[in-house]
Amino acid sequence: MTKPKVLISDKMDPNAARIFEERGCDVDVKPGMTPEELAAVIGEYDGLAIRSATKVTPAILEAATNLKVVGRAGIGVDNVDIPAASSKGVVVMNTPFGNSITTAEHAIAMMFALARQIPAADARTQAGEWPKNDFMGVEVTGKTLGLIGAGNIGSIVASRALGLRMKVVAFDPFLTAERAIEIGVEKVDLDTLLARADFITLHTPLTDETRNILSRENLAKTKKGVRIVNCARGGLIDEAALADALDSGQVAGAALDVFQTEPAKESPLFGKPNFVCTPHLGASTTEAQVNVALQVAEQMADYLVSGGVTNALNMPSLSAEEAPKLRPYMGLAESLGSLVGQLAHGNLTRISIEREGAAAALSGKPIEGAVLAGLMRQYSDTVNMVNAPYLARERGLDIRSIRHETEGAYNTLLRVTVGTESGDRSVAGTLFGSDAPRLTEIFGVRIEAELTGHMLYIVNEDAPGFIGRIGSLLGENGINIGTFHLGRREAGGEAVLLLSVDQPIPQDVVKKACAIEGVRRVTPLAF
């Protein structure tokens, strides 16, 4: 079996390459390439490991004909075009926890730098002055810290602040009351935080909802003399408005590690006496850089070798331990999606994916992705679990996932139903044992079959002699039958024949089958 091949295109701890090799990947380390140089070689690789220097653009992705995963050693993925990667079926991973402590510590350091005006005092002292009377700081003990974002990094900042005997209030729409109690903070709305906080730190991603969350209007709502720290993402603060607030005294000090435009060569904040900045150093410790390099190598190798998905931004996570358990279900799900895609005629308007019995206890997203991959493969030859949901939504398909805890006729069951112009069409399947997928129902007709290789689906009138006529036709044309599966709605009514054959069925044979008396439909299938 050919080993997956990985390219490390940015400077990274050398142990990352060792981990790739130990886990069964071939790896090349080529930092510092130009975009043109990267585009020329990326087609050779299954995985691309990066930090912040490499830009994964649509042009790079277009050249990456074998690429399966991009791994960012760090949190921010501003340098990766995630929609373009998703449309190409490329998983995008990051390492959100590898530099959490480092970033949280930097925020605390910036808070102290503001409170005691350390950078300005240092600069003037080293310039030969002794400005002891010019710097009057404030204590942090007893002050209120306002967290905008109380996720992984925000919760670490909260724990450090509580250790400093600060009071902590937090605004985070996703923070539950139980989690707030657990991390020792008071959950409040944004206006309350702005009004009460002596210090504000931001720990949220940059989204349409959070962009300029500290706008000119919101800065005006802050407690007069507040000090603001941003070690999260540039663009969370209106920098021009912050500069004006520093001039007016509404904001007593601000410390930024991130800027709206980076590298930040100029800013309205530069030169302000109550402003402190660093060049995006939040993750810049030896420990953090080792951690994220090792983590991205472990995650990417797990995906390429065993199918485990961790910290993916465009598909559900699936641990290396979960993957073997889910793999048979995903095979069944993909086959059912493919079957309904090949048989359901007309414009598909919606799809529902139902899990019943033992299947209901499993993660639904990987199964949904597998169904859609099977379905959308009828429309594109470059479909996988990553881009299938995007392609389905592009076609206006309404996707629903339904979980039934009750067990029916089978211990475990998946059902896929699509809405068409002619009504709903449904197929269902189960696992025999724990790993043998089987079709159990097709468009309301009970039938048990293995979906594999080349098959022929026939709808006919239930009448004597039909099976012999089909068998004779295939035999006369040199087509060997592998398996034969029958089902019917009722005696003498509509019947279904599903058979597997050893080679593709020529179109002229399909036409001859359609001409047999009693035949209503003949469709060749491929799995």
Helices vs strands, H then E, count in the chain: 17, 22
Does 212 have pLDDT greater than 80?
yes
- pLDDT for 506 beyond 70: yes
If phi over 0 gives left and psi between -120 and 50 gives alpha, with beta otherwise, what is residue 280?
Answer: left
pLDDT tens by residue, 125-180 = 999 999 999 999 999 999 999 999 998 899 999 999 999 999 999 999 888 888 99
Structure confidence by residue, pLDDT tens digits, 262-297 = 999 999 999 999 999 999 999 889 999 899 999 999
| The pLDDT of residue 320 | 61
Q: Give which of 402, 443, 441 is closest to 424, Cα–Cα.
A: 443
**pLDDT surpassing 80 at residue 346:** no
Q: Give the per-residue pLDDT at 209.
A: 85
Q: What is the pLDDT of residue 523?
A: 94
Distances in Å between the Cα of 436 and the Cα atoms of 416, 429, 449 are 18, 10, 11
Q: Tell whether the model's pLDDT for residue 345 goes beyond 80.
A: no
> Per residue in 482-502, pLDDT tens?
999 999 888 888 899 999 999
User: What domains appear along the chain, each with residue ranges and CATH number?
Assistant: 5-97+287-306 (3.40.50.720), 100-277 (3.40.50.720), 321-449 (3.30.1330.90), 452-527 (3.30.70.260)
Residue-level pLDDT at 18: 95
> What does the pLDDT read at residue 86?
86
At residue 506, what are phi and psi to the nearest 5 degrees? -60, 155
**410 alpha carbon, distance to own chain's centre:** 32
d(CA 200, CA 223): 10
pLDDT at 382: 62
Token representation of residue 417: 């139903």
- For position 74, what pLDDT does the model report? 87
Pairwise CA distance, residues 471 & 466, whole Å: 9
Determine the pLDDT at residue 492.
80
In whole numbers, what is the pLDDT of the chain averaged over residues? 91
Question: What pLDDT, on a 0 to 100 scale, did the predictor assign at position 152?
Answer: 87
pLDDT in the model for residue 321: 65
d(CA 378, CA 335): 12
> Which of 106-115, 204-213, 263-272, 381-390 comes out lowest in average pLDDT?
381-390
User: Length of the chain, please?
Assistant: 527
Mean pLDDT on 109-131: 96
Q: What confidence score (pLDDT) does residue 381 get?
A: 62
Three-class DSSP category at 439? strand
Task: Determine the Cα–Cα distance for residues 359 and 351; give it in Å rounded to an integer.
Answer: 18
Q: What digits encode the pLDDT tens for the residues 29-79?
A: 999 999 999 999 999 999 999 998 999 999 999 999 999 999 999 887 889
Report yes or no: 121 and 253 within 8 Å, Cβ to Cβ.
no
List, by residue number, the catalytic residues.
233, 262, 280
pLDDT at 51: 92
> Residue 199 pLDDT more than 90?
yes
Give the tens place of pLDDT for each residue, 230-247.
999 999 999 999 999 999
User: Averaged over 301-320, what is the pLDDT?
Assistant: 81
Q: What is the mean pLDDT of residues 310-337?
A: 82
Confidence of residue 207 (pLDDT cuts 50, 70, 90): confident
In this predicted structure, what is the pLDDT of residue 330? 87
∠342-348-354 over CA atoms, to 5°?
80
Whether 369 shows a pLDDT value over 90: the answer reads: no
What's the pLDDT at 107? 98
**pLDDT above 70 as % of the chain:** 98
Q: Which own/partner pairs from 103-107 qualify as long-range (CB within 8 Å, at least 24 positions apart)?
A: 103/75, 103/153, 103/231, 103/282, 103/283, 103/288, 104/153, 104/156, 104/157, 104/160, 105/160, 105/285, 106/231, 106/257, 106/278, 106/281, 106/282, 107/153, 107/157, 107/201, 107/203, 107/229, 107/231, 107/282
